[in-house]
Structure formats: C-alpha cells, structure tokens
Amino acid sequence: DLARWLVTNQPISLAINAPRPLGFKLGQELFEKTAQVVYTVGSTNDPKAPPALTCQARPQEAEVFGEFPPRKSLDLYTKYPVVVPSSTPAYDSSYQAEYLKSLTSADLEGAGGDLDEARAAIDAVQDGAVRGYCVELMNYLSNATETNPKRGFGSDRTAIWGLQRPPLLDGCLTSIRCDDNVSYDDLLPVFLPFYATNARDQVELSVDSNDQGLLAALKGIEADKSVAIKIEHSDEHAKRMVDVASHYYNVINVSAGGLNEFPMAGQFISLYFPLGHIKSTMVDDEDFIDHFKKSAKWLRVR
C-alpha cells in the first residue's frame, strides 16, 4: 500500500489534501505509518487552509528539513542524514573519551521511575567511555523529548516538529543483529535509545547462540522480559531478513569492538530514528495542533 511504498522508497516529503477534517485522519494515518521528513496537510474545502501544492520547508521558521536515504541502505550513501537547521561542525565532531569517562548514571537527567531501567542498563556497561556515552545519549533524548512535538513559528502556516518513532506499520521492526563476538558494551549505545523509549516494542534483537555472555547480560537487566530476542546464527538471520524484508524498517549490524568514535548524540540518534515536521497550510491552526500533537508517533522517554 501507499505507506509501505513510502517507507521502502523514502521520498523526502509528502503532501495530503482532503476535506477537513478527513484530511486530519488521513494525514495522521500516513504520518504514523511512514518516516518522511516533511509532511504538509492542506484542505480541499476550506479557503483558510489552501491545498498543499508544494512539499517544501522553511527551516528558518522551525520547519525542520532533511535528506534521508531509505533507512536500510542509509550507510551506503551517507555517514549521517543531513538535517536543516543543524550545526555543520557537529557532523565531524565526537566526544572525547576522557569527558565520557567522567560521567556515571548519577548524571542522568530527567524524571520518571522508568529511568531506573535505563540506569540499570547503563550501570552494566564495563567500559567507562561507553558508559558515559550512554549517559550522554539518554540526556539528549530526555532533553529533546521533554516537550515533543515542539511548535514552529511560521507567519502563514502552522508546524510542529520533533523526534519520532520508526513507522507504526504492522510488522515494521528494527532488527539489531549481534554476531557471536559482540559484547554488551558494543550493543548498548545502539539498543538503549529503543529500550528506554516508547520505541521499545519496535525493536528486535538477533543474537548468535554462541554469544552466551551477551545473552546473560541482557537477562541480567531483564531486557528479555520486554524485548523480542531471537537466538540464531548469522546465516539464519540473513535469510530471514530477505524472506520477510518488508517486515523490517531497518537492519542494524552491531560491530564487534564497538564504536570507533563517539559522535554527537543528535547525529547518532538520527541514524535510527525519524525526525522532521508536519504542518498545516492554515495559519494558527489550533485544531491541527490539538489533533497531531497527540499522535503516538512522537518519541518519548519511558
């Protein structure tokens, strides 16, 4: 269907035109089931909300814009997705290990009992720099999603923007593959942003049956109670990813030995999570705001 085609081919933008309020219902369904960066909702029956005839964005008015290849093949085309507005130097910047080693789970920011799960997961990391990086990722997520979505400040249309979950499309998961030499420290920076947010039920771990250390570590933080963990060899996983390719939004292969560097949190999160904006062609469209801000698509820390 249309949503699955949009996920597979990943055009940057999508315009939805229909009579109000039908356009809200259609727009929400497509917004939640896909991962475009720019969505524009117009109407065909209200002169105050003209049809969306273009699919452009005004970053200067908080209409976040970006270029994302199809998620499964992102690393074939780019190191990180390009997001506008963003800091250009951030794309080639990284955290110093000495700084990261100074952080512990006591430095986690934000409130909520479920931070205890993130804290336990982080405390199980052995390497100090990796542990600190996980703290930095969690603090970024807490800050970025404390108010999510955020409202733009356009002069003649109405936008909301922010980090989003992967598409809420039936069977559209992210598979994180760990071969037999991948450690818990290698895995957690990739896994934690799913585990600690409302995207938890959209991730699946594939772990080699010989990797008993990793399986024990995951059981130690009780991840096995809330996340699907498939125990399989790499050839079994590869075959499954071909046989049911349409059921997976992304396939992430975790490298043994972990990250070569610690990129800025925003760039790292953009590798795995959609972001961008959705807007109405009507100025000060409070009905639009009230409808779309409640969407389950917006990313939240658990």
What are the residue ranges of helices labelled H in the chain?
2-9, 22-33, 74-77, 97-101, 115-123, 128-145, 184-195, 212-220, 234-243, 265-270, 286-292
For residue range 206-250, list pLDDT tens digits in order.
999 999 999 999 999 999 999 999 999 999 999 999 999 888 999
The predicted model scores a pTM of: 0.95
State the residue for tokens 């999510």: 148
Banded pLDDT at 255 (limits 50, 70, 90)? very high
Residue 207 is classified by DSSP as E
State how far the Cα of 240 lies from the Cα of 273, in Å rounded to an integer.
Answer: 23
At 111 the pLDDT is 53
**198 Rama class: left (phi>0) / alpha (psi -120 to 50) / beta:** alpha
81-130 per-position pLDDT tens digit = 999 999 999 999 999 999 999 999 999 987 555 689 999 999 999 999 99
φ/ψ bin of 102: left (φ > 0), alpha (ψ from -120 to 50), beta (otherwise): alpha
Can you tell me the mean pLDDT for 251-268?
96
Give residue-wise pLDDT tens across range 279-297: 999 999 999 999 999 999 9
CB 202, CB 296: distance < 8 Å: no
Q: How many CA atoms lie within 13 A of 161 on its CB side?
A: 24
Q: 56: pLDDT confidence band, cut at 50, 70 and 90?
A: confident
From CA 194, how far away is CA 227, in angstroms rounded?
10
Residues 176-199 have a mean pLDDT of 98
54 vs 112, residue with greater confidence: 54
> What pLDDT is stored for residue 245 in this prediction?
87
Average pLDDT, rounded, for the chain: 95
pLDDT tens for 4-37 read 999 999 999 999 999 999 999 999 999 999 999 9
Distances from the Cα of 77 to the Cα of 67, 71, 82, 241, angstroms: 11, 10, 11, 21
SS (H, E, C) 253-290: ECCCCCCCCCECHHHHHHCCCCEEEEEECCCCCHHHHH
Contact 192, 125 (CB under 8 A): no
84 neighbors 122 (Cβ within 8 angstroms): no
Domain ranges of the chain: 2-292
Q: Look at the block and give the residue holding tokens 């499954």.
A: 240
